[in-house]
Chains A and B, each alone.
Chain A
Amino acid sequence: METIEQQFKNTPTTQLDKVRVEAFNAFEKLGIPTSRVEAWKYTNIKTKLSKDFILTPLESEVNTAVKNYIASLPPYAFRLVFLNGIFHQELSIIPEIEGLYITNLKEAFANKSSNIEQYFGKAVNYNEEHFAALNTAFVTDGAFIHVSKNVAIEEPIYLHYFFTATDADAFVQTRNLVVVEDGASLQIAEDFRNASNITVQYNHVTESFIGKNAQLTLVKLQVETKNVKGIHSLEALLQRDSTFNASTITFEGNVIRNNITAQLLGENAHADLSGLYFGKENASIDNNILVKHLAPNCTSNQLYKGVMNDESVGSFSGKIFVDQIAQKTNAFQSSKGLLLSNEASINNRPNLEIFADDVKCSHGAAIGQLDENALFYLQARGIPFELAKQLLTYAFVHEVAERIQAKPLRQFICDKLKEELKLNW
């Protein structure tokens, strides 16, 4: 820590360094939140993370688990691979396409590519968000993706983040920066997985800037996360007529926290945020959503579904904020939970803060168990009890997967769900 602190006490020379020093100072004040901090009520993160975590980058030796997984992947057009936050060019596929600029953040910092200074740290609120501050100050590496005006990228870009804990106290800071200029469109899949058998800790931030009439679809996959303590912050700034589609899919998890903030800055912007989470054993999966309607005629939708087994705990906190000027807002929120054991639980916390008078906002929350009548119906056709449960669980969650508009990503998620639920149709 000493040397890094030292580094930040030197006078910053560049705009980037300035942001990082500010973030560092903010983190020094904020620290790691306790459960007394309202937004961290359901995840006592301070007790979950190692007490003396270390931020120095780890070794990044590609192990068999990583190799095998990479080898199993279909021939994607684009792929960036990071291991313990360190970019692996040799495992990545980055074809040159006109109007699309992809590189790793480090490289982008060094070259000041595509005006990165204009964007880095501008979507996250590092003055108030503990982990955004920490990440902004100490980020190791990540992807930088910039799509030029009116360029439509048809193939999704897959960003693979692998973690192997070579030190149990390591706390890896990764980050993506995505810029979709006016009229452009892009699909991204972020895939996070533990490639070791021991616990890993990471803190990931994705900042995204969506220009006028632009579209961004982002699917976040948190799989193979049994021993993962992962904190995610996804920040999106939407200009007028733009669309942001984000889906967060979490399997298992030890401690998983997802913060998502979408700010609708221009008229007629649309944010669609959905999530699916499957908890097992003593997992804690906490989704914290904030949609800010800051302009008129915008729409937003939140749809979250959780399936909790064993003693797992799921949480959903969703806030819709409607500014005084954001008339004709349409904002919806739905959070549903399915409890597969008596010890599992889900906390649902909807929150509406509305300052405009001509808006349509609604929220709905429901938590239940599998319908006995439906189970019996399936069994009465010869379907074994376990399979009947899996089918109904799939039926419960499929709605979220169906919401993903980008077909390759939707297919990808549906396949993952079937794999997870051991369904082979």
Chain B
Amino acid sequence: MLSIKNLDVRVEQKEILKGFNLQINPGEIHAIMGPNGTGKSTLASVLAGKNEYEVTGGEISYLGKDLLEMSPDERAREGVFLAFQYPVEIPGVSTTNFMKAAVNAKRKHLGLDPMDAKTFLQLLNEKRAIVELSREFTSRSLNEGFSGGEKKRNEIFQMAMLEPKLAILDETDSGLDIDALRIVANGVNQLRNKDNAFLVITHYQRLLNYIVPDFVHVMYGGRIVKSGGKELALQLEERGYDWIKEEVASLA
């Protein structure tokens, strides 16, 4: 589904990703862990198409297409979804209207007519229930005045609405209390199936108790330096990252 080869990325002349490689197949959940400043969020932003990142080398192929050639909105309509680390507050646009615009943009892309009001409302209510968001939330301005947990639940709600093929969760668990974490993880687990894939970026092993990954990767210095199964996350939790750094240093 997603194939990243030798990706080099710069931000303002600073090299963040250096020869990054990753292969994700349908039905898989990949977790990326690693210390601060190793380029995890940069990876998420590059995949979603944020324009301040300069790709200086390598390639990203998504469903056989060159992802880097696509605009952020094209990527989203093709099924790429980024759950933001810091969801943006947009006063004046309700979550409902925002989702209506997004759902219909995708439908238009697929050659379908806009969804009728009744079907849309049903869909909205159904997906809202997955992340336990009240009706009031969807009629309020997007993320405005939402708590951290509500914002993250709103991200998962949007993901449920748009049913992406590849969902990237950028530190969705950071700062969440255990209830919110459970709700978010629950949402992801309900959505996972054999045709979609998840890339979960996290600092903490805790999330992976709820969302069980098929692969755990450790990122350091702009690339993946170690990969393993879910047990790797437990190891990291226990031993921290110093042993990884030492391993990398000894190889250099």
Contacts and interface: CB of A to CB of B under 8 A. Distances in A.
A73 interface: no
Given A387-B101, A395-B93, A379 B88 contact: no
Contact of B162 (A381, A387, A392): A381
Contacts of B72: 376, 379-380
B76 A395 contact: no
Contacts of B162: 381-382
Interface in A380-422: 380-385, 387-388, 391-392, 394-399
Contact of B87 (A377, A384, A399): A377
B209 interface: no
B92 A381 contact: no
B159 to A, nearest CB: 10
A382 B48 CA distance: 11
Interface string A93-131: 000000000000000000000000000000000000000
Given A387-B101, A425-B101, A382 B90 contact: no
Contact of B105 (A382, A398, A399): A382
Q: Place the interface of chain B in its size category.
A: 20 to 34
A399 B50 CA distance: 29
Interface in B39-98: 48-51, 71-73, 76-77, 81-82, 84, 87-88, 90-93, 97-98
Contacts of B82: 380
Nearest to B92: A395
A246 B246 CA distance: 69
Contacts of A380: 48-49, 72-73, 76, 81-82, 84
Contacts, number: 80
Contacts of B105: 381-384, 387
B245 interface: no
B90 A374 contact: yes
B90 A384 contact: no
Interface residues of A, number: 24
Query: Which residue among B87, B101, B105 has the maximum number of chain A CB atoms within 10 Å of its CB?
Result: B101
B92 A382 contact: no
A384 B74 CA distance: 8
Nearest to B96: A425
Contacts of B203: none
Given A376-B50, A387-B105, A391-B101, A381 B90 contact: no
B59 to A, nearest CB: 21
B105 to A, nearest CB: 5
Interface centre among B73, B77, B93 (most CB of A within 10 A): B73
Contacts of B97: 391, 425
Interface string B93-124: 10001111110011001000000000000000
Contacts of A387: 101, 105
Interface string A142-170: 00000000000000000000000000000
Given A385-B71, A391-B101, A425-B97, A379 B76 contact: yes
B202 interface: no
B92 A399 contact: yes
Contacts of B158: 381
Given A379-B72, A381-B76, A394 B92 contact: yes
B119 to A, nearest CB: 15
20 contacts: A371-B88, A373-B88, A376-B51, A377-B90, A379-B72, A379-B76, A380-B81, A380-B82, A381-B73, A381-B162, A382-B76, A382-B109, A383-B76, A383-B105, A384-B105, A385-B71, A392-B93, A394-B92, A395-B141, A398-B92
Interface of A: 371, 373-374, 376-385, 387-388, 391-392, 394-399, 425
Nearest 3 pairs between A and B by C-beta? A395-B92, A382-B76, A381-B102
Interface of B: 48-51, 71-73, 76-77, 81-82, 84, 87-88, 90-93, 97-102, 105-106, 109, 141, 158, 162
